[in-house]
Amino acid sequence: MKAIALTEFGEPDVLSYQELDDPLVGPDRVLVETRAAGVNPVDWKIRRGYLRGLFPHHTPLISGWDLAGVVRAVGPAVTEFKPGDEVVGYVREDHVQYGTYAELVAAPVRTLAHKPGAADFTQAAGLPLAGLTALQMLQAVETGTDDSVLVHAASGGVGHLAVQIAFALGASRVIGTASERNHDFLRELGAEPVTYGPGLQGRVAELVGGDGKVDTAIDMAGGTALRETPEILRDSSRHASVEDPETVLQQGGHYVFVRPDTEELTWLSKLIDRGQLRVEVQRTFPLREAAQAHELLEQGHVRGKLVLTVE
């Protein structure tokens, strides 16, 4: 099979389009013909070697944790899927080696769900990691009926899904931080935009009125945004972040590192089919141009998702 892999860590040019052995299909694994693979910030962090202290890494290392594709074969213990099924997956294991930037992926059955029929493969590939991250953060802070929610970095891959998922969980109001060029996009999603950066607390207070605070907050930005968050909340424990675990835990909040979950991924897929959730894909790249996708993502300011297509 063709795949994007690396044998050393570094700049995007360490990603190589190469021929590798087809994956083995274990008893509880599903062999998926990849049609598209989502590109996430964790992918370039792995490429630079930033996660080597957290997971065992083995080379050649195939990048990527997101996929959408078609089942080619299943292991003898798999009853949930059959050849021909269209699936999505957040294919993360407890070591880093066999990723999704490849024509074929042998995915553990626990990482997959049926693809939403209302989304094409490109859109579906942008859902798993970002959608599960958003959902698990919102659940960690117990977002529910009539809550007001602050979403930091709301126009990004996780953020734009979090805005929509918060409403699906019953939130009455979602405020999203973003640069001004993305404010209209957030309004399309139903959010009230505010500009990120120093002084955010005052801008949020002016927008919400009353006591100037919100019920819950989720953070994908870290830094100043995370430090200011407790002051914007009625209950400072009801915030979560994917950045800087030490800080968020010291604040009494929740650190979230997304976990594969078939039931939750199925729920997200159903939201798409009901028209309650859409995945914004800013740009697609053919698989062999994964390095260019990494370069763009590392620059920041991507609206929604970047996705690799596999022909």
pLDDT (tens digit per residue) in 180-238: 999 999 999 999 999 998 899 999 999 999 999 999 999 999 999 999 999 999 999 99
Looking at the domain that runs over 2-129+260-309, which CATH code has it been given? 3.90.180.10
Predicted model pTM: 0.97
Whether the CB-CB separation of 299 and 28 falls below 8 Å is answered with no
Domain regions of the chain by residue span: 2-129+260-309, 130-255
Please name which of 133, 131, 159, 79 lies closest in space to residue 268, comparing C-alpha atoms: 131
Whether the CB-CB separation of 126 and 195 falls below 8 Å is answered with no
Query: In degrees rounded to 5, what are phi and psi of residue 207?
Result: -70, -45
pLDDT, residue 279, reads 98
Out of 3.20.20.10, 3.20.20.70, 3.40.50.300, 3.40.50.720, select the CATH number for domain 130-255: 3.40.50.720
pLDDT, residue 228, reads 92
Residues 6+ apart with CB under 8 A from 270: 116
pLDDT tens digits, the chain, 311 residues: what are they? 999 999 999 999 999 999 999 999 999 999 999 999 999 999 999 999 999 999 999 999 999 999 999 999 999 999 999 999 999 999 999 999 999 999 999 999 999 999 999 999 999 999 999 999 999 999 999 999 999 999 999 999 999 999 999 999 999 999 999 999 999 999 999 999 999 988 999 999 999 999 999 999 999 999 999 999 999 999 999 999 999 999 999 999 999 999 999 999 999 999 999 999 999 999 999 999 999 999 999 998 899 999 999 98
Residues 6+ apart with CB under 8 A from 202: none
pLDDT, residue 311, reads 84
Q: What is the dihedral of CA 262, 173, 207, 184, to 10 degrees?
A: 70
- 80 by DSSP, 3-state: which? coil
pLDDT, residue 82, reads 98
Taking the mean position of all CA atoms in its chain, how far away is CA 303? Answer: 13
